[in-house]
Amino acid sequence: MQMLKVRRYLRGSGRVLAFVFVASVIWLLFDMAALRISINDVNSQLLRERVIREKEVMMLMMMKQRQSRVTQPMKEGLDHPVQKVDLAVTHSWKKQRSNKLAQAYRRGGKDLELNSNQKRGDKVIIGDNSESNNKVRPKKEAVNLDLNEAVARKTQHPPGVQVNTNQGVKVASQLQVEEAHPARTVSHQNPNKNVNKKEESVEAKRVGMTERTNLNAKKEPLNLRAGQNSTAGRKAGVHKVLHLDMTQAPRDAKAVGQFGQAVFLSRSDDAEVKKRWDEGHFNVYLSDQIPVDRAIPDTRPESCAQNLVHDDLPSTSVIFCFVDEVWSTLLRSVHSVLNRSPPHLLKEIILVDDFSTRDYLKEPLDKYMSQFPKVRIVRLKERQGLIRARLAGAAVAKGDVLTFLDSHVECNVGWLEPLLEQVYLDRRKVPCPVIEVISDKDMSYMLVDNFQRGIFKWPLVFGWSAVPEDVIRKNNLTVSDPIKCPVMAGGLFSIDKNYFFELGTYDPGLDVWGGENMEISFKIWMCGGEIEIIPCSRVGHIFRGQNPYKFPKDRQKTVERNLARVAEVWLDEYKDVFYGHGYHHLLDKKLMDIGNLTEQIELRKRLKCKSFKWYLENVYPDINTPLAKAEGLVFNRGLRKCLALQKGSLSFETCDLTKQNQHFNYTWMRHIRQQDLCVGSQTKEHGLALLSCDNTKPDLRWLHKASNLALAEHLITEFSNHMCLEAEPRGVITRLSPCDSNSVFQKWQFTHYHVQ
Ligand code: UD2
Ligand code: MN
């Protein structure tokens, strides 16, 4: 009976149904098995990678034991203050081997000694930012983040991606540029959107996001704040900064210079090193042996990997200008961008060839770069200099943001998103990465001190200096907070493209190299923007002792001319301070033609920019810049009376601080000045005259030092340096006499000396 019932069920359509059911069960079983295999595969692959990385770290540590680090303890100047990361650990390194390394890198090398609760498991993965603190992270979480990375990695070259060829490139007409490798735009899905969906919405809730919010800001670092972006208001999810690093696997752990470690060549290589040095003014011979996609240590402060950034960050065009750059460093620069930038944010890489002469930078470069659809090469038909070369790049850029980089850099893990996040928060923010140091000698990647910002010293000399202690304390600044930066170094920064054009770009009249960082910095700050150094974004740069390329005109004159243009447009009354620091000769128009400035002056007016005085007081208050070197009464020691101006001529009076006619300034132009009148020497009668002040006239200038000179306290005419201002003993007149170090009638004292 029972059998019959079953048979009846299996007859006709029942039979088909049963077959489908059984087949489905079998299919499901196969599927589950396959899934299990693939999960195992992923896991074992990840595990393998980790083991490899661990071995590499071990090796690195062992090598480091044998090597001590280069230290360049410069506190100020263009050279960055490099942290001594002494990894020559000689005690119990077996236990703490990897911890020490990671600590050194992430904490700025300050606390190489670990305390017990800082110790985390025995695994450290350089470049794996998922390990943001030193506690042992639950395995699951680490795997999640690695998957995140894997997905992002996958999206670099996703199958079936839509590729549009775009030949119609707009060209900066005045620059005669030529597109050597036309761009192709690649559209991507945001890799985070699906992967982190759950995490995003939770995070978004947590931070209460309704509009552009500075997710990670606990406070405002300084009192300054640019206006909020007018396009704010978009709702967006957030995610943790991607720790994308395509160089992690596979890679040759034994390769020269891998992990940014120092390489010590043998003596026998000296001749070759020397021979090739001038090609780039660094160790070109060594650079050529280092992989173009080497790994470097993740040197970000430890909290950076946990920072949240928005999902809808703007895209960027990365612009590298180069002239006769060394092949291996140019490639390493490009690879570091390709390998460590989220693909959906990297619109393109534009290489602007500033009329290089080296053959390998022509067809071979075109050929090499043609494998990367995002790389475009723009060739300039004549040498323009880096300023106009950058403008040529900007003119054809398609990204929302322009990111300028020098052509001998290595972008570190997670470098891009923190920069774009700042622009996203406020399009008038101009973020710069921390510029770390790639040694010009051993090519090692070196940390720099924390809390460093770009500044200038007179006469507009760029340098680095630590953020003042009281500013750090007052604002509770941590090592990962953005640092307000009075002047950018110049080479590496991101800027909203439209904002860059609104600001009138660079002054295109600046030639070849130098001064453009001052110009753009003053322009940004004075016209409503702000410049920040973002400690969570780090890029290594080879600082060279000399420019390795030729200047079309004299190098010094080129830089001086650029600086004079900047001073004339931006410094207001402070331009005398600039000229007064050894640049008097630039005032002589016969010696130096600085070109037409009308457009730049108009631009400043149109943008309604603030004064240079405002800039000094608000952006760079710790520079002390008095407008006069000395001021007050001018006391004659022999006569014991003070110089006075009466009815258009000079006389002596009993000193009286309340009398304005006795007040003079000793200015940066070395004038003895009361309002618009300056004391001038007349050589014919050895007399004096009161003349309208004029910066270009040498007979109005007086050398004067308050101390430490044979002729201290004398007023020596610059016109003829043997003649000094002397009070006639009867006190009726002043006159010029041959300088006499003993004559008290030739000794003058101002009431206040601001500068010695
Ligand atoms: C620093 C800046 C640099 C620039 C310069 C002042 C950093 C890290 N570097 O000097 O970007 O602001 O100060 O002007 O902040 N180049 C050309 N055409 C030229 C000259 C240079 O394309 O005529 C390229 C050059 O190949 C390099 C870039 O411009 O990629 C910057 O030149 P540099 O590296 O000689 O400048 P650097 O780092 O000494
Ligand atoms: Mn450079």
* 435 in contact with ligand 1, CB cutoff 6 A: yes
* 433 in contact with ligand 1, CB cutoff 6 A: no
Q: How far apart are CA 538 and CA 108, in angstroms?
A: 12
| pLDDT value for 123 | 26
Least confident of 303-312, 330-339, 691-700: 691-700
| pLDDT value for 235 | 65
User: Of 369, 365, 348, 361, whose CA–CA distance to 166 is shortest?
Assistant: 348
Say whether pLDDT at 728 is over 80. yes
For residue 111, the tally of other CB atoms under 10 A from its CB is 12
DSSP code string of 472-486: HHHTT--TTS-EE-S
* 437 in contact with ligand 1, CB cutoff 6 A: no
How sure is the predictor about 13, in pLDDT bands with cuts at 50, 70 and 90?
low
Region 491-496: mean pLDDT is: 98
For residue 232, the tally of other CB atoms under 10 A from its CB is 14
Q: How far apart are CA 248 and CA 250, in angstroms?
A: 6
Nearest ligand (C-alpha, residue 320) = 1
How sure is the predictor about 718, in pLDDT bands with cuts at 50, 70 and 90?
confident
Say whether pLDDT at 255 is over 50. yes
| pLDDT value for 292 | 96
Question: What does pLDDT average to over the chain?
Answer: 78
Q: What is the pLDDT of residues 551-581, one digit of tens each?
A: 999 999 999 999 999 999 999 999 999 999 9
Q: How far apart are CA 715 and CA 722, in angstroms?
A: 10
Query: For residues 561 and 387, is the Cβ–Cβ distance under 8 A?
Result: no
Residue 666 contacts by C-beta under 8 Å, 6 or more apart in sequence? Answer: 628, 629, 630, 631, 672, 673, 702, 704, 750
* 322 in contact with ligand 1, CB cutoff 6 A: yes
Residue 206 contacts by C-beta under 8 Å, 6 or more apart in sequence? Answer: none
| pLDDT value for 649 | 85
Tell me phi and psi for residue 90, to 5 degrees.
Answer: -110, -10
Query: For residues 627 and 754, is the Cβ–Cβ distance under 8 A?
Result: no
Say whether pLDDT at 386 is over 60. yes
How sure is the predictor about 756, in pLDDT bands with cuts at 50, 70 and 90?
confident
Say whether pLDDT at 270 is over 50. yes
| pLDDT value for 158 | 27
Higher-scoring residue by pLDDT: 702, 25: 702
* 519 in contact with ligand 1, CB cutoff 6 A: no
Residue 353 contacts by C-beta under 8 Å, 6 or more apart in sequence? Answer: 180, 322, 323, 361, 365, 377, 378, 379, 380
Query: For residues 535 and 582, is the Cβ–Cβ distance under 8 A?
Result: no
DSSP code string of 32-82: HHHHHHHHHHHHHHHHHHHHHHHHHHHHHHHHHHH---------SSSS--B
Buried b (16+ CB within 10 A) or exposed e, 303-341: bbbebbbbbebbbbbbbbbbbbbbbbbbbbbbbbbbbbb
**Placement of tokens 């509009």 in the chain:** 211
Query: For residues 121 and 142, is the Cβ–Cβ distance under 8 A?
Result: no
Query: For residues 695 and 718, is the Cβ–Cβ distance under 8 A?
Result: no
| pLDDT value for 94 | 28
Region 615-642: mean pLDDT is: 96
Tell me phi and psi for residue 602, to 5 degrees.
Answer: -60, -45
Q: What is the pLDDT of residues 110-151, one digit of tens each?
A: 332 222 233 322 222 222 333 233 333 223 222 222 223 322
For residue 384, the tally of other CB atoms under 10 A from its CB is 26
* 462 in contact with ligand 1, CB cutoff 6 A: no
Using a cut of 0.75, tell me whether the model's pTM lies above it. yes
Region 221-247: mean pLDDT is: 66
Alpha carbon of 116 to ligand 2 centroid (Å): 41
Region 229-245: mean pLDDT is: 76
E-strand ranges in 669-729 read 672-674, 677-682, 687-692, 702-703, 716-717, 723-727
Region 689-702: mean pLDDT is: 89
Least confident of 214-223, 499-508, 656-665: 214-223
Query: For residues 179 and 378, is the Cβ–Cβ distance under 8 A?
Result: yes
Region 747-755: mean pLDDT is: 95
Residue 229 contacts by C-beta under 8 Å, 6 or more apart in sequence? Answer: 212, 424, 425, 426, 427, 428
Q: What is the pLDDT of residues 603-620, one digit of tens each?
A: 999 999 999 999 999 999
Say whether pLDDT at 627 is over 70. yes
Q: Which atom of ligand 1 is nearest to the CA of 551?
A: 23
Q: What is the pLDDT of residues 167-225, one digit of tens each?
A: 333 333 344 444 444 433 333 333 333 333 333 333 333 333 445 777 776 554 443 33
| pLDDT value for 50 | 46
Alpha carbon of 489 to ligand 1 centroid (Å): 10
| pLDDT value for 115 | 29
Q: What is the pLDDT of residues 33-65, one digit of tens each?
A: 544 444 444 344 444 444 344 444 444 444 443
